[in-house]
Copies of this chain bind each other. A is one copy, B any other.
Amino acid sequence: MADEPVVLGVDVGGTKVAVAAVNGATASDLVQRPTPVSSTSELLNGIEATVREAITATGDPAAIGVGVPSQIDYGRGTVETSVNIPLTGVPLRDELGKRFGVPVFVDNDANCAALAEAQLVDDPPATHLVMLTLGTGVGGGVVIDGKIFRGADGLGAELGHFPIEAEGPLCPGNCPNRGCVEALCSGTALERDATEHAKDLPRTRLGNVYGEKGTVSGPDVVSAAEDGDTDALLLFERFGRYLGVAISGYVNVFQPHIFVIGGGLSRASGLFLERAIAEAESRALPALWKRVDVHLARGGADAGVIGAGLLAAQEIGRDTQRSAATTSTEGRA
């Protein structure tokens, strides 16, 4: 396999573009450059330049997988909507395919992360996995039979937008629902609830933060909770309870063997994960719960690159090889 052309993974984030050769769960020859966001053409040129830089080290690739923080019509390879980087409406697969002359595959970064997580469990790779990414919003990815599940047109697996509290708060994201997972278990929801709560409690720690800044941020709540502040702990108790409600639903529906919690908020998991798991355990169908392992994301900073590369490898039919190689010798981070 050493002489075979590599598969490249590309992770286009809001601040940096990362490119690496991907084999199993291993990334090598990593190149990272800032993401140009001033215009679509600058962005496309920036992605191209970063990929070409990687190619000088790896040689021409067999295929390129690209993860972007955007909603993708996977069948067409186009970007439906993109809030953080200027890609809305761009036929990204074809644009990049023209530039490199090799097969390019483009997917949502949460889908790529889920694929990386499936590779990062104990051997063999997980065939059925659900991943929730808790950040400003709530994203997710679902792996079924070892492949990313996308729905009929690649717009599915919107795991942040299942309602779990029918008359709950309006979703703070670009979604008309009420009480959906993102409306209750996102960074934005946490800040909304903390701010509302602090307004009525002027002489408390969160009240003081509100008095100074007119708002309470996620990091404010995390820091207060870590210091044992009761108001902040109660906010996380509620957060964990709702997360557990959502986990129970997704376990019952997808019956995964692996359930992964990722995203920026998972760094504060000590404040809510135990509560979430207890809630999910009390609610999920027992036969399904006993078959699932819930854990934090294992992928590091290069999980997005790895997932994008795995996607491309699967699409060109290299994943059987890859799984075999991974199982025997390498690929565990």
Contacts and interface: CB of A to CB of B under 8 A. Distances in A.
B155 A287 contact: yes
Contact of A177 (B151, B158, B248, B255): B248
B155 A144 contact: no
B177 A284 contact: yes
Contact of A252 (B144, B158, B252): B158
A291 interface: yes
Interface stretch (A21-29, A86-94, A161-169, A220-228): A161-169
B255 A156 contact: yes
A178 to B, nearest CB: 7
A175 B257 contact: no
Interface pairs A-B: 3 shortest CB-CB: A151-B255, A156-B255, A162-B249
Looking at A150, A245, A288, which has the most chain B CB atoms within 10 Å of its CB? A245
16 contacts: A81-B287, A144-B144, A150-B255, A152-B255, A156-B253, A156-B254, A158-B252, A161-B249, A161-B285, A163-B164, A163-B249, A164-B164, A166-B241, A166-B242, A176-B282, A177-B248
A157 B288 contact: no
Contact of A283 (B150, B177, B242, B284): B177
A25 to B, nearest CB: 20
Interface in A234-251: 241-242, 245, 248-250
A21 to B, nearest CB: 30
Interface of A: 71, 80-81, 127-128, 144, 149-159, 161-166, 175-178, 180, 241-242, 245, 248-250, 252-257, 282-288, 291
Contacts of A175: 285
A88 to B, nearest CB: 12
A156 B287 CA distance: 10
B149 A144 contact: yes
Contacts of A250: 162
Contacts of A254: 151, 156
B158 A288 contact: yes
A257 B278 CA distance: 35
A153 B290 CA distance: 12
Given A158-B288, A166-B242, A177-B284, 12 more contacts: A80-B287, A152-B257, A155-B291, A157-B253, A161-B285, A162-B253, A163-B164, A163-B245, A163-B283, A166-B245, A178-B283, A180-B249
